[in-house]
Amino acid sequence: MALRGRRRPGPELTASLTGGAPGLPAPSELELGRRAYRARRSRRSTGVALVSTLVFAVVAYLVVTRSPGWPRVQTTFFSLSVGRDAFPSILRGLWLNLQVLLIGGACVVVLGLGIAVLRTLRGPAFAPLRLLATGYVDLFRGMPLIITLYLVGFGLPALRLQGVPNSPFVLGTLAIVLTYSAYVAEVFRAGIESVHPSQRAAARSLGLTHRQTTRIVVLPQAVRNVTPALLNDFVALQKDVGLISVLGAVDAVRAAQIYVGQTFNFTPYVVAGLLFVLLAVPSARIADGVAARARRRQQSGSVL
């Protein structure tokens, strides 16, 4: 990944927390007082957060379970037995979603990066390419994903062209890649533009060609700048892969749907939904962590 190799130890930080770096003078009364105050304050805000969360949870629980329709809702949406029966086939479907996610995600990065680079090319010779890339982004960023899915999933096979696959898995992935590449291209482009022109000047003055400059100097910095935003898009992609079900691919959503159709119980949807959430949580935490690290790097130690 782009963030490789920049991990730095923070001896100052750990030392100030444990208060005992060798060679550091013993903390003064003043500093001890400040530390005690900070600790008190953080204990208090943790307490407030805990209590308010608890109160909210209890209230929400009571309101829902005391509602007149609750018994019915419980049996149709939260039936343990139906959930257990549906679980294996939904999980098998989720494996398909995961494949779409990984293959599609990789394609999105490559295509998005390519389009972003095309959009930043200067000079009249590249005008047609630039125009094409801009048109692509405008089209697929504006088009609702569901419509792209229908057009690609049903329109493309209808052409009956030689060699066009008609598996909903392939076509669904293609539609998702088309849409997401447009978004990701814009993220990359913002990253490329965030690298100061003086970096380019420095690289060119060393004799690097335009291409080398882009590849060795600009893109690595651009990618590093936009990694948090990219991870955010990845989390969004994670749930949108569930949309391939509209093409008939038997993914987690479709598997749940089949089950719902048989039992008239909506619990399988809840199961599928929770599985998607579980899938998203690690990526969301990684995204948070990366964003926090990027922030730290920019401020290098400031508390604000």
Partner 1 sequence: MSAVLDVRGVVKAFGDNVVLRGVDLSVDEHQVVALIGGSGSGKSTLLRCASLLETVDDGQVLLDGEDITDPRVDADAVRRRLGVVFQAYNLFPHLSVLDNVVLAPTRVHGRSRADARDEALTLLGRIGLADKAGEYPDRLSGGQQQRVAIVRALAVHPRVLLLDEITSALDPELVGEVLRVVREVAAQGMTIVMATHEMGFAKQVADTVCFLDAGVVLESGPPEQVLGDPVEPRTRQFLSRIIDAGRL
> What does the binding site for partner 1 look like in residue numbers (CB under 8 A)?
6, 198-199, 201-209, 212, 216-217, 220-221, 224, 300
Q: How far is the CB of 204 from partner 1 (least distance, A)?
A: 6
Closest CB to partner 1 among 119 and 224? 224
- CB of 4: closest distance to partner 1 in angstroms? 10
Residue closer to partner 1 by CB (options 2, 284) is 2
Environment class of residue 63 by beta-carbon count within 10 Å: exposed (0-12), middle (13-18) or buried (19+)?
Answer: exposed
Q: Two tokens at 186?
A: 């814009």
Q: How far is the CB of 202 from partner 1 (least distance, A)?
A: 4
The distance of closest approach from Cβ of residue 201 to partner 1 in the complex, given in angstroms and rounded to an integer, is 5
Q: How far is the CB of 203 from partner 1 (least distance, A)?
A: 7
Q: Report the residue number, 146 or 206, with the smaller CB distance to partner 1.
A: 206
User: Which CB atom, from 173 or from 213, has the smaller least distance to partner 1?
Assistant: 213
For residues 162 and 205, which CB has a smaller minimum distance to partner 1 in the complex? 205
Report, in Å, the least distance between residue 28 CB and partner 1.
29
Q: Which residue lies nearer to partner 1 by CB, 204 or 239?
A: 204
